[in-house]
Amino acid sequence: MSNLANLYGPHLTELLARHRQLMQQNDIAYLVIPSGEPIRIYLDDMDYPFKSSFLFRTYVPLTELPHSYLIIGHEGKPTLVYFQPEDYWHVAPSDPEGIWPEHFDVKVISSQNQASQFLPENSENVAVLGQPTDITSQLSKAQINPPQLLNSIYWQRAYKTDYEIACMKLANEKAAYAHKTAEEAFRAGKSEQQIHLAYVEATGMMEHQMPYSNIVALNNHGAVLHYTECDSVAPKQMKSFLIDAGVSVNGYHSDITRTYSFQKDEFADLIEAMDEMQRGCIDSIQTGQPYLDLHVAAHLKIAEIIQRFGLVDMSPESMLESGVSATFFPHGLGHLIGLQVHDVGGQFGDEMGTANPPPEAHPFLRSTRNMEPGVAFTIEPGLYFIESLLKRHRDSNHASAFNWDKIESFMPYGGIRIEDDIVVQDEGVLNLTRDAFAKL
């Protein structure tokens, strides 16, 4: 953690410089950023698991601290109103400690109402960012989530500091170890639930602290892109395993997917071909390249694999143009990643937040940004055997080009997805995920 301590100060200094410049441009004297409040389950006495607002975590690595506030002016240390109740029903937050307290003017409060005394004067020159609360409602003249200011913050969020990259690096290393543990459980014939629990235990985290619900899919369940059912009984015949799972470190996430075949069979060969394609895709990245171009190129490469394995008798170019490749690869190539698994601003055209949506042919692409230095993305091509998509072609003009018997033989395996987290550099790409697996 000493390396993170050395990097955190410059990280915060850079953030404050960025955001204070935006405050001046938007005539904002103070930012008030709530950490958020737990949400009570309807007609119950329990809350949903709480995670601090990503806007709050932008500044401070307090991922589960409710009823707290950041107050940022044009100069000096930010004020952190730190809620530490006297509570014998739950574990109260510990005293402020770690790499961050020296950088803030910390005000510890034991009741929520005490936060009011630290608010700035009620003025239209105050901006509240995030979830409004009863406390921020006292700032009746304040601007609530002003779009122009937030869009600029979201645009800048894509460019990661050294501290942020270091946190994501650790998140990848922890996740890679847990992925290896999960693969071992799969090889031992465990159920989805048992594999999931092995993964969670290997991370040293609680389930609610995961960056997202783990996807642990055996056999044909791998064809459900967001499969989270987790059967407790192992299938009678183990064929394949797709796991999409990450880890969080100081609020920064990893998002890793791997696919395995239980036997050395043709599906294993298909996985190897997709793995080679994914690594080639990353190696081809050019600084300044539109992410959309990379996505389209990935479709063409996946179409080549589809043709090579005899699934469809069409040229790769025709598969791409006709939409046949999207039958097997229906999602986007990846997305921005950082404080959120799908970081905001992925479809911005500029700092003003001008919409830059994907083209109609690729509606599920989450990022249309350029591949610029310091920006973190995921690269996650897939190849799936999804009946609801395939059946559209059974009576289409292209039906005769499909090798339906070969496709049916792959249906029990579900599909393949391989996902790495990368950071674009001035020259080349930093692959956080492959580097993490290489250390195991």
1 has a pLDDT exceeding 70:
no
Q: What value does the mean pLDDT take over residues 407-429?
A: 97
* Annotated binding residue 95: no
* Annotated binding residue 419: yes
User: What are the boundaries of each domain within the chain?
Assistant: 2-157, 162-438
CATH superfamily of 2-157: Creatinase/prolidase N-terminal domain (3.40.350.10)
Residue 2 confidence (pLDDT): 63
Q: What value does the mean pLDDT take over residues 60-81?
A: 97
Residue 113 confidence (pLDDT): 96
Residue 149 confidence (pLDDT): 97
Q: What value does the mean pLDDT take over residues 207-230?
A: 97
What percent of the chain stands above pLDDT 90?
97
89 pLDDT band, cuts 50/70/90, is confident
34 has a pLDDT exceeding 80:
yes
pLDDT in tens, 155-164: 999 999 999 9
Q: What value does the mean pLDDT take over residues 112-117?
A: 97
**Averaged confidence pLDDT in the chain:** 97
* Annotated binding residue 350: no
* Annotated binding residue 221: no
Residue 88 confidence (pLDDT): 87
Q: What value does the mean pLDDT take over residues 321-342?
A: 97
Between residues 166 and 90, the one the model is more confident about: 166
Residue 68 confidence (pLDDT): 98
Give the Cα separation of 288 and 374 in Å (integer). Answer: 11
Q: What value does the mean pLDDT take over residues 121-132?
A: 97
What percent of the chain stands above pLDDT 70?
100
pLDDT in tens, 257-282: 999 999 999 999 999 999 999 999 99
Residue 211 confidence (pLDDT): 97
Q: What value does the mean pLDDT take over residues 271-297?
A: 97
368 has a pLDDT exceeding 70:
yes
* Annotated binding residue 335: yes
CATH class, range 162-438: alpha beta
Structure tokens at 82: 């730190």
Give the Cα separation of 363 and 378 in Å (integer). Answer: 17
